[in-house]
Structure 1
Amino acid sequence: MYDVNVAFIRSRLACLPEIAQALSAATVAWSGGLIEGLAQERALHLAAEVATDVGHALIDGFIMRDASSYEDIIDIIAEEGVVTTEVATALRSAVLLRKKLVQEYDAWPRAERHPLTAELPRALMGFSDQVEDYLRRELI
């Protein structure tokens, strides 16, 4: 019935514990140094990429409406009941950072800890759990 690339989705989700760990470590040990700033920047970027990659795979596999933007990917999976509003809000915030992280990295304030650095670890793990729950429910 559905052609969902579960292996791809799970491969991406498997990255989330390390990304969450990096964000948590950056939150706890933040001193504004270059290495911490670059690690934070990369972890935020990867969080946005995993969310959009997984969301896109779900949209394609379960034949949901087409997304018009990266943010719309998150909106669609929230509307379809894949993730809660709370998780969607955090993921949408991460996805909104994507352009700055990918295209405007020369202006990224590396010496500052971004507020999402502390918020995202819990949301990322919730995202992973909720996607797995959705796959179990829909692919029975």
Structure 2
Amino acid sequence: MYDVNVTFIRSRLACLPELAQALSAATVAWTGALLEGLAQERALHLAAEIATDVGHALIDGFIMRDASSYEDIIDIISEEGVVTKEVAEPLRNLVLLRKALVQEYDSWPRKELHPLTSELPRVLMGFSDQVETYLAKELI
């Protein structure tokens, strides 16, 4: 009935444990060094891309309403019961960073630990678990 690209979704979700580990390590060892700042920037960017890629694949595969923005992707998967509001809210905040990370990188505050960095490991693993639960339930 549905044409969900489960392989694509799972390949993206498989990146999350390492990404969560990197974000946790950045939080614990933060000194504000250039390399740490650049690593944090890339980790936040990858997390945003994974959340939107997976969300978009779910929206397309399960024929949910069309998204009008990156934030809307997160809103839709929350409204459709893929993720809880507790996971959706920080993901929404994450995807709001995408423009700064991709287009306004010349003014990104690399020496500062972003507040989402410490929260995202838990959120990303919750996102992965909730997406897997949704797939199992809907693709029976």
**What does residue range 24-103 of structure 1 map to in structure 2 within 5 Å?**
24-103=24-103
Other-structure match for 1:114: 114
Other-structure match for 1:134: 134
- Counterpart residue identity of residue 37, structure 1: G
- Counterpart residue identity of residue 44, structure 1: L
* Residue 67 (structure 1) shift: 0.1
Other-structure match for 2:123: 123
* Residue 122 (structure 1) shift: 0.1
Residues of 2 paired with 1:61 and 1:107: CA distance?
A: 37
Structure 2's unaligned 5+ residue stretches are none
* Percent pairwise identity: 85
Residues of 2 paired with 1:89 and 1:42: CA distance?
A: 21
Residues of 2 paired with 1:105 and 1:97: CA distance?
A: 11
Q: With the length of structure 2 as denominator, give the TM-score of the two structures.
A: 0.99
Structure 1's unaligned 5+ residue stretches are none
Q: With the length of structure 1 as denominator, give the TM-score of the two structures.
A: 0.99
Instruction: Supply the RMSD in Å over aligned alpha carbons.
Output: 0.3
**After TM superposition, what 4+ stretches of structure 1 lie above 2 angstroms from structure 2?**
none
* Residue 2 (structure 1) shift: 0.1
- Counterpart residue identity of residue 95, structure 1: V
Residues of 1 paired with 2:64 and 2:9: CA distance?
A: 16
